[in-house]
Structure 1
Amino acid sequence: MDSNSIEMGTHVIDGVRHPISTPVKHIENLPNLEIFEDDVVMTSPKSGTTWMQEIISMLRYGCDVQKADQEYIEKRWMFIDIHLNNQKYVHLPIVFVCRNPKDTAVSFFYFHKMVKHFPTYDSWSEFLNDFCDGNLVFGDWFSMNSYWWSQRNDKNVLFVKYEDMQRNLSDVVEKVASFLGWPITDRNLPELLKHCSFESMRSNKKVNYTEHPRVDTKEIPFMRKG
């Protein structure tokens, strides 16, 4: 499918609502995806996905900003439920970022206004009803977060809170680095923290989606308040 001409709307596959850009066959084939012990990074939507992606990119490249920025973020990562050209699987442990539902819902509401092939909502109350009913794209926030919370003690899962990233990013970065087995030196930590600050990421065209063909950030920026 041409990523520049994606049809508007959503559809439900196996009880979960997905963008129309997600093919039914792709979802049906996911159970056959070979999973390794060192496999996947994931978060629920609008809970700090891009933030965590950039942190891990910096760790992966030894805190080298130029290497982290050499490719657009969508080329470095893959959303396994969406089939896009030229993306590859990245083998990483599971890092799940949870954000409180109120802020997640607000961020997701504005996200629907940006993504060209997502349905828009005329009112916040209409959107909130769908959010609470689990009737938005990517499924039920409550069941997803409850499940990963129940898995938080699994050795292959790191459960991170978005609010902890806001309060003490340095502490979270060190936990992620230790979990991945990619140690970070005291000398490199300040560079990573500076690069992954909200202000830095908001102005970074490699991560702020200002040049993405399917995201309209003219009226509403992808990164609003953080």
Structure 2
Amino acid sequence: MPSALEYTPVGGDCQDLLERHFITAFRHGYVRCQGTVLPVYYKQFAEDILNLQIRDDDIWVCSFPKAGTTWTQEMVWCIANDLDFEGAKVKLPERFPFLEHTMLFNYEKVLPMLPDFSKEIPRFVKDAVGYINDLPSPRFIKSHLPFHLLPLQLQRGLTGAKVVYIARGVKDTCLSYFHHCQLLEGFKGSFHEFATLFINDSLCFAPFWDHVLGYWKRRDDPNMLFLKFEELKKDLPSVIKRTAEFLGKEMSTKEINILCDHLSFEKMKTNRAVNYEEVIEINKKYKFVEAEGSFMRSGQVGEAGKKFSPDWVQRFDQWTEDKLKDTGLNF
């Protein structure tokens, strides 16, 4: 592992805001690593993540949280597995595990008090890196890490592994991330406080624009496919076709239409293999979070523009304009 990994406090007024509203039974603090905000528990996994052995046939889906990751994972898995809808009945985190799952949820303090809970934690949650190491090929792996914190072999292009990155407009990402953090990660503050943390690059996996642009700069790499949530919403068949070509798969028009139906918001929202209802039920059972809601809420483009105050719309739009100037990227 490189010795250059640098840890610093989150810093500023936002550190107090973050710790006041986002410390939970399973999240005990935050740190910046190479500028990226992560749970302090990440330190225990950094070396294993950076040194993860990458295989030539690995397929990764990477994103900032709530950019359409689950939708993209299901699309990629189904294409790569020749529309094996029977196999797709297995829970998504089991067949497409999340590299950072363990470091996001540190249950060490609650397990002694909840012996029954330990029996309900699957290995892909309590030992994500070990679970991924032991998976047979081809492996499907999800990550929310910025490019510069991915496993070193992946960063250096030392294998034939493929990476699909999914990006989404910043306002919709922020709104969806707010609801997600309330429902699954125990955030207790207001939307105004969450948006303040978001725009000040002080939430997990932030800075947002550094994350997106870190992958965007590598969009011409033959093993990188850069997608946008808005493209999937506008023309899903075309995105499926592009993704299939990237993965070396041929799909007929009929197969593309069948997959489009499987990936429809209505089907995804009620599909227990992908909608995380089981996780929400466990959180409620053990009172880890108190918020009500569903993992998949609306799946719309532009919803945030209707729910943000005019001031927040202006601030996010100006932020976007400043960050995307001369990058060639737009939403």
- The answer to whether residue 99 in structure 2 is matched with residue 80 in structure 1 is yes
> In the alignment, is the contact (CA less than 8 A) between 1:10 and 1:17 conserved in 2?
no
Deviation at 1:45, TM superposition (A): 0.7
Q: Bigger CA drift: 39-48 or 49-58?
A: 39-48
- Percent of paired sites with the same residue: 30
| Counterpart in the other structure of 1:123 | 190
- 1:58 corresponds, among 78, 81, 105, to 78
Deviation at 1:157, TM superposition (A): 0.6
> What CA deviation, in whole Å up to 9, does each residue of 1:196-221 have, x standing for no partner?
11110001011101111348798211
Q: In structure 1, how many angstroms separate the alpha carbons of the residues matched to 2:64 and 2:85?
A: 26
Deviation at 1:172, TM superposition (A): 0.3
> What CA deviation, in whole Å up to 9, does each residue of 1:81-110 have, x standing for no partner?
233724325255100001000000000000
> What CA deviation, in whole Å up to 9, does each residue of 1:11-63 have, x standing for no partner?
2152433346x542212332222234543221111001100111112112211
Name the CA shift for 1:194/1:218 in 2 (closer, same or farther; >3 Å).
farther
- 1:46 corresponds, among 51, 66, 76, to 66
> In the alignment, is the contact (CA less than 8 A) between 1:94 and 1:158 conserved in 2?
yes
Q: Which has the larger radius of gyration?
A: 2
| Counterpart in the other structure of 1:98 | 167
- The answer to whether residue 295 in structure 2 is matched with residue 222 in structure 1 is yes
Q: Bigger CA drift: 10-19 or 42-51?
A: 10-19
For residue 221 of structure 1, give the secondary structure of its aligned residue in structure 2. coil
Q: In structure 2, how many angstroms separate the alpha carbons of the residues matched to 1:81 and 1:6?
A: 18
Give the count of matched residue pairs.
218
Name the CA shift for 1:13/1:25 in 2 (closer, same or farther; >3 Å).
farther
Q: In structure 1, how many angstroms separate the alpha carbons of the residues matched to 2:88 and 2:273?
A: 9
Deviation at 1:121, TM superposition (A): 3.9
| Counterpart in the other structure of 1:114 | 183
Q: Bigger CA drift: 133-142 or 48-57?
A: 133-142
Name the CA shift for 1:124/1:146 in 2 (closer, same or farther; >3 Å).
same
Q: In structure 2, how many angstroms separate the alpha carbons of the residues matched to 1:78 and 1:10?
A: 24
Task: Provide the TM-score with structure 2 as the length reference.
Answer: 0.61
Q: In structure 1, how many angstroms separate the alpha carbons of the residues matched to 2:45 and 2:87?
A: 31
> In the alignment, is the contact (CA less than 8 A) between 1:13 and 1:27 conserved in 2?
no
In the alignment, structure 1 segments of 5+ residues that lack a partner are none
> In the alignment, is the contact (CA less than 8 A) between 1:210 and 1:217 conserved in 2?
no
In the alignment, structure 2 segments of 5+ residues that lack a partner are 1-23, 103-121, 125-130, 134-138, 141-160, 300-331
For residue 86 of structure 2, give the secondary structure of its aligned residue in structure 1. helix
> In the alignment, is the contact (CA less than 8 A) between 2:180 and 2:295 conserved in 1?
yes
Deviation at 1:152, TM superposition (A): 0.8
> In the alignment, is the contact (CA less than 8 A) between 1:72 and 1:207 conserved in 2?
yes
Q: In structure 2, how many angstroms separate the alpha carbons of the residues matched to 1:217 and 1:75?
A: 26
| Counterpart in the other structure of 1:172 | 239
When you count helix as a share of all residues, which structure comes out higher? 2
| Counterpart in the other structure of 1:29 | 48
- The answer to whether residue 255 in structure 2 is matched with residue 188 in structure 1 is yes
Runs of 4+ in 1 over 4 A off after TM superposition: 214-218
Task: Provide the TM-score with structure 1 as the length reference.
Answer: 0.87
- 1:211 corresponds, among 278, 294, 306, to 278
Q: In structure 2, how many angstroms separate the alpha carbons of the residues matched to 1:123 and 1:44?
A: 21
Name the CA shift for 1:19/1:145 in 2 (closer, same or farther; >3 Å).
same
| Counterpart in the other structure of 2:306 | none
